[in-house]
Amino acid sequence: MALYSYKAIDSAGKSAKGLQDAANLIDLEQRLKRAGLDLISGKEEENRASFGSSKIKRTDLITFFFNLEQLVRAGVPLLECLGDLRDTMEEATFREIIASMVESIESGKKLSQAMAEHPNAFDKITVSLTRAGEDSGRLVEVFAHLTESLKWQDEMASQTKTMMIYPAFVGTVVLAITFFLMIYLVPQLVSFIKGMGQDIPIQTRMLLATSSFFVHYWYVLLLTPPVLFGTYKVALISNPGLQYHVDNLKLHIWPTGPILRKIILARFANTFAMMYSSGITILDCIANSRDLVNNQVIANSLQNVMREIEAGKNLTQSFQQTGIFPPLVVRMLKVGEATGQLDQALLNVSYFYDRDVKDSIKKVQALIEPTMTIVLGALLGWVMLSVLSPIYDIISKVKM
């Protein structure tokens, strides 16, 4: 089906504009007539993106669920809510998805079923929560939970990017300075140093050799990272079991590993709490959240938790045996399970990790600055020492 922009009038003569999914203009006219509108003009949207191949941005999902919550809470029928969102959404791909959802619901499907047809926009957790909200009559609360969860995920993603971008930027600056020194500056001094007629010190010979390698094999240095990355990707495809070891290394490499573990567990706890409070069973919560962690080591641990629960153990004992949560967090789970407020306990776990992640990122950033300064200072010091040593030797001989 194609997405058409249309202009129509209702029975009172009031004009209306919007978007509608239809097979052709005749089909569009029939669909609008069933909605009480008479078609004036319609045009197929050109250069529309295929919603089956692109991922919807988190910010668009936040806008979608926030507006959906507000409209449904105000008593607006669901189909009208989706129609308004379809007409006002700026992202063309998302407009198509909402238009398709409207069509599915008009044909008799539930909202969760319509969402399930678009996995690139709505993941399994979103679909499961919506289904639970439909069954319990708490859709408004589910939409509010989804909005808050997506905002929280967006903040966590921002923190993760902050952790990775800053050292990458500083490292790039250091590499750029290194290339400048070795390819431009040092070669300018080669003839001067060799023309002194003195024995060249070992550190100066090392500098000249390094500079010569940069000058003659610069392309090797530039091509090595993408070649290594391509080899890594091919190895992962040819040997799927390698991903487990890579994920394990990510969790243990210092200083980003411990922070990454906390980010993953915070996301898991937040999602688990949201699903559990919506009435989804514990096993389904773990199963759905397991797909969210995007790390095979923690996913396997959660799979073991499910086996332990199925074998008759309680949630706290099952998590304790995996060793992925520290004792303080296990204690929170135990209290929540004993008091019947497991969702609140999990939210406390999420808050605990969220705060810890922010503190850890600040500490890492505080360490990166002096470390990069020392590296850059050592590099400049080596160049200066290598250049000035022969000059100092000549001056010393002249004085003698």
Q: Which pLDDT value is given to residue 46?
A: 54
Mapped onto helix, strand or coil, the DSSP state of residue 109 is coil
Which candidate, 297, 296, 292, 322, places its Cα nearest to that of 307?
322
Number of domains making up the chain? 3
Tell me the per-residue pLDDT of 178-214, one tens digit each, with 9 for 90 and over.
888 778 877 776 666 666 666 677 777 787 788 888 8
Q: Which pLDDT value is given to residue 377?
A: 81
Residue 231, in any domain of the structure: no
Same domain, 92 and 36: no
What value does the mean pLDDT take over residues 265-272?
78
Same domain, 342 and 375: yes
pLDDT tops 70 at residue 174? yes
Tokens of 132: 């639970």
Give the Cα separation of 316 and 299 in Å (integer): 17
Last residue of a domain, one of 103, 133, 151: 151
Same domain, 303 and 351: yes
Spatial contact of 89 and 95, defined as CB atoms under 8 Å apart: yes
Residue 346, in any domain of the structure: yes
Tell me the per-residue pLDDT of 5-63, one tens digit each, with 9 for 90 and over.
778 887 777 777 776 666 677 777 777 777 677 888 877 765 444 444 457 888 888 88
Spatial contact of 333 and 349, defined as CB atoms under 8 Å apart: yes
Same domain, 35 and 63: no
Which candidate, 88, 71, 76, places its Cα nearest to that of 17?
88
101: left (phi > 0), else alpha (psi -120 to 50), else beta? alpha
Spatial contact of 48 and 3, defined as CB atoms under 8 Å apart: yes
Spatial contact of 86 and 95, defined as CB atoms under 8 Å apart: yes
What value does the mean pLDDT take over residues 246-265?
81
Last residue of a domain, one of 151, 178, 204: 151
Q: Which pLDDT value is given to residue 252?
A: 83
CATH code of the domain covering residue 133? 1.20.81.30
Phi, psi of 147 (to 5 degrees): -60, -50
Same domain, 265 and 345: yes
Q: Spell out the residues 6+ positions from residue 332 whose beta carbon is closer than 8 angstroms to its own.
A: 345, 348, 349, 352
DSSP 372-399: HHHHHHHHHHHHHHHHHHHHHHHHHHHH
The chain-wide mean pLDDT, for the chain, equals: 78
Spatial contact of 288 and 306, defined as CB atoms under 8 Å apart: no
Residue 159, in any domain of the structure: no
Same domain, 93 and 35: no
Q: Which pLDDT value is given to residue 3?
A: 64
Q: Which pLDDT value is given to residue 227?
A: 92
Residue 39, in any domain of the structure: yes
Which candidate, 302, 232, 295, places its Cα nearest to that of 272?
302
Residue 166, in any domain of the structure: no
Across 245-307, the runs of DSSP E, i.e. the strands, are none
Same domain, 356 and 381: yes
Across the chain, the runs of DSSP E, i.e. the strands, are 2-10, 15-22, 37-44
Q: Which pLDDT value is given to residue 49?
A: 40
Per-residue confidence band for 324, with pLDDT thresholds at 50, 70 and 90: confident
Tell me the per-residue pLDDT of 60-71, one tens digit each, with 9 for 90 and over.
888 888 988 888
Q: Spell out the residues 6+ positions from residue 103 whose beta carbon is closer than 8 angstroms to its own.
A: 1, 21
pLDDT tops 50 at residue 338? yes
Residue 111, in any domain of the structure: yes
Tell me the per-residue pLDDT of 76-130, one tens digit each, with 9 for 90 and over.
888 888 888 887 877 777 887 888 888 888 888 888 888 888 888 888 878 888 8
Q: Which pLDDT value is given to residue 47?
A: 42
Last residue of a domain, one of 121, 151, 181: 151
pTM here? 0.61
Same domain, 108 and 256: no
Sign of CA dihedral 19, 22, 25, 29: negative
Domain containing residue 99: 58-151
Same domain, 131 and 264: no
pLDDT tops 50 at residue 351? yes
Same domain, 18 and 62: no
Residue 308, in any domain of the structure: yes
Mapped onto helix, strand or coil, the DSSP state of residue 34 is helix
Identify the helix (H) or strand (E) that includes residue 183: none
Which candidate, 246, 180, 245, 191, places its Cα nearest to that of 215?
180
- The one-character DSSP state at 122 is S
Same domain, 143 and 30: no
> What percentage of the chain exceeds 90 in pLDDT?
0
Q: Which pLDDT value is given to residue 53?
A: 43
What value does the mean pLDDT take over residues 246-255?
82
Residue 234, in any domain of the structure: no
Same domain, 379 and 244: yes
